[in-house]
Amino acid sequence: MHFLDQAKIFIRSGAGGPGAVGFRREKYIEYGGPDGGYGGKGGDIVFEAVAGLNTLIDFRYTQHFRAPRGKGGAGSNMTGAGGPDLVIKVPIGTQILADDEARTLLADFTQEGQRIHFLKGGDGGRGNASYKTSTNRAPRQHGTGWPSEEMYVWLRLKLLADAGLVGLPNAGKSTLLNRTTNAVAKVGAYPFTTLRPQLGVVSHKGREFVLADIPGLVEGAAEGAGIGDRFLGHVERTRVLLHLVDAAGDDPIEAWRVVRGELEAYGAGLEDKPEVLALSRADLVEAKTMAKLAKKLAMVAGVEPMIVSAATGDGLEPLLNAILDKVGGEKAAELEALDDKPWSPL
């Protein structure tokens, strides 16, 4: 299945059905009268977040969504049937954005089962029975039904994960993902092997967390260099960043600076997220050289980097321990923040 994290669609709710013009006629009843019923309500446009979806690829092939309109009313004061709601299922983590320059956020789906009645269907039109007055005993006017609502919107998917992998291309992110999770990400000895975000579930010490790998960043990604910073949106919701620096690269210190600079340029709070820093591909560097490099990076970054090799598995145990500690700490902080808020029924 192809991965797609942005899509533009057209949505329209159903219009209300027309009211009826009818008159009661029964044998042996001298005086009849208007008895036209109301029209039915049009269907709403409803968005629902469901499990099992992790791409918006379906919206590439189906881009127009129209809810049914309500049925017309009938005699004997019968109301027309309402149009059924049209439920559009989206992956958890989907945002609905307005089709304007500012891309205004209209809805954000962060939980399974979350539903939003996004566009309301039109109410049904009045039947002629409702127009009857003391001076207008046989009205023939009726309502045609209230119009529908329609608009273009953008869907943007931001995958939900506990930890996000960042780093330059060829820093060993996909290899680490494959080694520690059930993912099968493509690995190659060339830049930009990863062209779309990948998710994997890490099981460690009886606990699980979701790890997201995004395409590598290069200098100038915020201005569109390389693949750009488009996929950084997928780590906006993560609790922890795992920053991999290639120890076997030409200049690991500069590589760290480049990624940190792109995180700051992107904004959205990524530069302030808790971070686990690791020197990867340690199996390709001699121990003495690695020790010097780790000391030098610690002086620049202000934190002691961990040394790992996804190829051999060295250093993965303490690395996963560190991620679990930070993920657990962030979850506890979120729960504490919720407890501090005053209770509200809203």
What end-to-end distance do the CA atoms of the chain give, in Å? 39
| 177 in the same domain as 101 | no
345 within some domain: no
| 127 in the same domain as 273 | no
| 309 in the same domain as 293 | yes
Residues spanned by the domain of 219: 163-340
pLDDT at residue 345, rounded to an integer: 42
CATH number of 98's domain:
2.70.210.12
- Angle at which helix 316-340 crosses helix 173-180, to 10 degrees, equals 80
| 185 in the same domain as 243 | yes
How many domains are contained in the chain?
A: 2
| C-alpha 140, offset from chain centre | 51
Q: Which residues of the chain have pLDDT under 70?
A: 1-3, 183-196, 216-230, 329-346
Domain final residue, candidates 99, 129, 157: 157
**pTM assigned to the model:** 0.72
| 153 in the same domain as 170 | no
pLDDT at residue 218, rounded to an integer: 62
| 42 in the same domain as 153 | yes
Burial of 166 (0-12, 13-18, 19+ CB in 10 A): buried
CA distances (Å), 155 to each of 7, 8, 94, 108, 231, in order?
A: 5, 6, 7, 10, 14
pLDDT at residue 93, rounded to an integer: 87
| 182 in the same domain as 129 | no
pLDDT at residue 335, rounded to an integer: 42
| 188 in the same domain as 336 | yes
pLDDT at residue 190, rounded to an integer: 44
pLDDT at residue 215, rounded to an integer: 73
pLDDT at residue 207, rounded to an integer: 84
Domain final residue, candidates 130, 157, 184: 157
Cβ(79)–Cβ(37) below 8 Å = yes
24 within some domain: yes
Tokens of 2: 């192809």
pLDDT at residue 343, rounded to an integer: 47
**Residue 313 in 3-state DSSP?**
coil
pLDDT at residue 168, rounded to an integer: 84
| C-alpha 71, offset from chain centre | 35
| Residues 263-322 pLDDT 10s | 888 777 878 888 889 898 888 888 888 999 999 999 988 888 889 888 888 888 988 898
